[in-house]
Amino acid sequence: MTDKTPFIVHCGECKHEWTAFYAPCNFVKAAEIMLHGRCPMCLAGPYKIFCCPAPVDANNTSSERVKKTGES
pTM of this structure: 0.70
Q: Dihedral through CA 40, CA 45, CA 51, CA 55, nearest 10?
A: -70
pLDDT of residue 28: 93
Mean pLDDT per block of 10 residues along the chain (72 residues) reads 83 90 90 90 91 72 58 54
Whether the Cβ atoms of residue 46 and residue 36 lie closer than 8 Å to each other? yes
Is residue 35 classed exposed, middle or buried when 0-12, 13-18 and 19+ CB atoms within 10 A define those classes? exposed
pLDDT of residue 61: 57
The span from the CA of 28 to the CA of 24, in Å, is 12
pLDDT of residue 67: 58
pLDDT of residue 48: 92
pLDDT of residue 33: 87
